[in-house]
Amino acid sequence: MRAIQLPGGGELPVLGQGTWGMGERRGQRAAEVAALRRGLDLGLGLIDTAEMYGSGGAEEVVGAAISGRRDEVFLVSKVYPHNASRRGAVEACERSLRRLGTDHLDLYLLHWRGSTPLAETMDAFEQLRADGKIRRFGVSNFDPADMDELFAGELGRRSATDQVLYNLTRRGVEVDLLPWCRERRLPVMAYSPIEQGRLLGEPALRRVAERHEATPAQIAIAWVLAQDGVCAIPKAATPEHVDQNRAALDIELTAADLAELDAAFPAPKRPVPLEVL
């Protein structure tokens, strides 16, 4: 598995497994657990979840999937903004750890900006790190102005990543946020790399896929993985889908492929508000 160096040491796998939408229907639990465990079999140890997903249900699914295999996992979860106070973040993290059946997270993120001052959230994260409950912390859905404010504080500068929406149809981050992060060697985690499936019928994507004997989804993921300093966390709810996602890691897009995709999905020329789903 290729990896990106994390600030302060350690590595972030470039391809992982997302869990948005998991844990919402009990009848799908076994399939979701099987999908995540298949990912572990294939080396997809990066698993991203959040207390928001399924109101904790996704974390319970992840906990079942990683039971007995914790040492294979780079585990990420996220705290609600309304739980991000000094006391609230600690308590929220402890609840997440119980649902996940583990004693620590490899990475804990503030899910998006809220009313709690960033310095207070960072204090809570640092306490969790000092107590061994998390190894690293970071943020999600932060735009460049948010990142400037975050990095104005000493603890904020210890952040390990910014997780944002990024795919062929959502390229606004290339104008300002990606350069900001690359300058500081801060990895970016791309969620929804296939835009929840909405871009898969695009002709250019299909043409490139045909040349590689791949699926449009695999090409969309491969395009994200071709970006410097970016990892992708696509969700897959079945083992077969996981197999397809893993195969995207082996696709090498040519200069002609990238040019065709760039022409079909051009990046904006000027800054745009950070997009979210």
Q: Write out the two tokens for 194.
A: 């296939």
Active-site entry in 53, 108, 166, 191: 53
> CB atoms < 10 A from the CB of 106, how many?
20
**How would you class 115 by CB atoms within 10 Å of its CB: exposed for 0-12, middle for 13-18, buried for 19 or more?**
exposed
Measured between alpha carbons, how far is 162 from 179 in angstroms, rounded to an integer?
13
Measured between alpha carbons, how far is 59 from 87 in angstroms, rounded to an integer?
21
Annotated binding site for substrate: 111
Q: Do 32 and 237 form a contact (C-beta atoms < 8 A)?
A: yes
**Beta pairing, strands 16-18 & 11-13:** unpaired
> Active site includes 108?
no
Q: How many residues does the chain have?
A: 277
**How would you class 263 by CB atoms within 10 Å of its CB: exposed for 0-12, middle for 13-18, buried for 19 or more?**
exposed
Q: Write out the two tokens for 73.
A: 């996992």
Torsion of CA 248, 216, 235, 168, to 10 degrees: 100
Catalytic residues: 53
